Amino acid sequence: MNRFSYVLSLCLGSLFLVTGVAQGNERTSRLMDLVDIQGVRSNQLVGYGLVVGLDGSGDKTRQTKFTTQSLTNMLRQLGVQLPEGIDPNLKNVAAVSVTASLPSFSRPGQKIDITVSSIGDAGSLKGGTLLMTPLKGVDGNIYALAQGSVVVSGISVDGNSGSSLTVNVPTVGRIPDGAIVEREVPGSFADGGNIVMTLRNPGFSTARNIAAAIDKRFGEGTAQALDNASITVQAPQDPDQRVAYMAMMESMPIVVEKPPARVVINSRTGTVVMNEYVGVLPAAVSHGNLVVNIRESSNVSQPEGILNQGQTAITPNTDITMEEGGSHLFVLPESTSLQSVVDSLNRVGATPSDLMAVLQALKSAGALKAELIVI
C-alpha cells in the first residue's frame, strides 16, 4: 500500500468528525471557504437569440434593423422565404443576448440557468419565449443550447400622455434550467500531479496556516505555501483516491488571521461598510450643510392698447437663494471598537452621503485607522 492509500484509510473513518469550532479566541473557517482549486472553475457562455410572443413590447424595427434581419434569416432556414423589400413590422419579437455560467465538470445533458437581456429597444420581455440559441465559449465552440419561457420580475406601464411607471427591470429575465449542455470543458484536476490552491483573500499568515494544517493531518511536506495566495499540495494519482483526498480536506478547520481594517465606500449608491477592526484617533470634526435653491419662473410682457403693434414677450426670471446649515465642532475620541466608531460618527449627524466626505477627511488627517477603498 502506497503512502496516500495508507493516509486515506486512516482518515476516512474520521472524515465526518471534522469541525470548524474555534479554539479560544481563534477564528476558524472551512478550507473550501477560503480557497479555489486550480482546474476547478466555471466558464462563461454567451449567445445571440430572439424572444418571441411579446405583447407589442418588442423591438421597433425602424430603429433595430438587426432584429428583422435575424428573424428573416431564421425563417429562411425553416423554409419560409419572405418577398424582397417586405418589412414584417413586428412588435412581438426582441433581439436578446443570452449569458450563462457553465459549472466545472458539467457533462452533456445537464441543465444550467441562463439570463436573457434585451439588446434592442424592446419595452419588456415579459411573457416571451426564447427560441433555440447556441451558447458559445471564448474559443468559439458551442457548449450549450438555450430555449424556453422567460421569467421577468419587472413591469413597465405607459400612459397615453407619455407618463410611465417601471418596477425593477422588465428587459432582463431568467430561464431556470433553460440550457442543455452539449459539450464538456476539459479540466486539469484529474490529470494527476500536485493540487494548487489559490486563496480568495491572499494573506501570508492564512497561507502558512493552511499548509501547516494539511501537513499536520497528512504528514510533513505534503503542502507548501508558495506565496501569500498559492499553496501546492501533493495528491494521489488515482482519480478515486484524488477525490477522496479532496473530500477530507474540504472541511478541515483553518485558523484565519484578522483581516486588515477597511472602510469600503460605494460612491454610486452612498453605501458605507466598515469591518470590526476599524478605529479612529482623537480628532475634531465640523460638518455643515450648504443648501442652494434655484427657482425658475417666466414673466409675460403684454403691449398696452389694442392698436399697439408690439408683440407679447416672455422673459425668464431666476431666483437663487443659498442657506448654510448650522455647523458644530465635535470631538471624536479615540475608538478601538466598531460600535464606538459608529457612535462617534453618529454624533456628527451626517447623512450617508455626508459620511463619505467625513471619512475621507479623517483619512487625510491621519485619524482613520483603516484602509479606505472607494468603488
Residue at grid coordinates 478541515: 252
Tens of pLDDT, residue by residue over 309-330, are 667 777 776 665 655 555 556 6
- Which of these, 120, 122, 147, 123, lies nearest to 134 by C-alpha position? 147
Distance CA 222, CA 33 (A): 20
The pLDDT of residue 7 is 44
Q: Is the pLDDT of residue 19 over 60?
A: no
Range in 9-23, 261-275, 276-290 with the lowest mean pLDDT: 9-23
* Cell numbers linked to 265: 465606500
Q: Is the pLDDT of residue 290 over 60?
A: no
Distance CA 11, CA 171 (A): 52
Phi, psi of 370 (to 5 degrees): -165, 160
Q: State the pLDDT confidence band at 13, using cuts at 50, 70 and 90.
A: very low
Domain ranges of the chain: 3-39+188-255, 43-181, 262-301+314-374
* Cell numbers linked to 365: 488627517
DSSP-derived secondary structure for 333-352: PPB-SHHHHHHHHHTTT--H
The pLDDT of residue 12 is 41
* Cell numbers linked to 219: 504528514
Q: Which residues of 245-263 are buried (b: 16+ CB within 10 A; e: fewer)?
A: bbebbebbbbbbeeeebeb
Q: Which residue has the higher pLDDT, 25 or 241?
A: 241
Tens of pLDDT, residue by residue over 138-170, are 999 999 999 999 999 866 666 555 556 566 688
Pairing of strands 172-181, 142-149: antiparallel
Tens of pLDDT, residue by residue over 66-118, are 888 888 888 888 888 877 777 676 788 999 999 999 998 889 999 999 999 99
Q: pTM of the full predicted structure?
A: 0.65
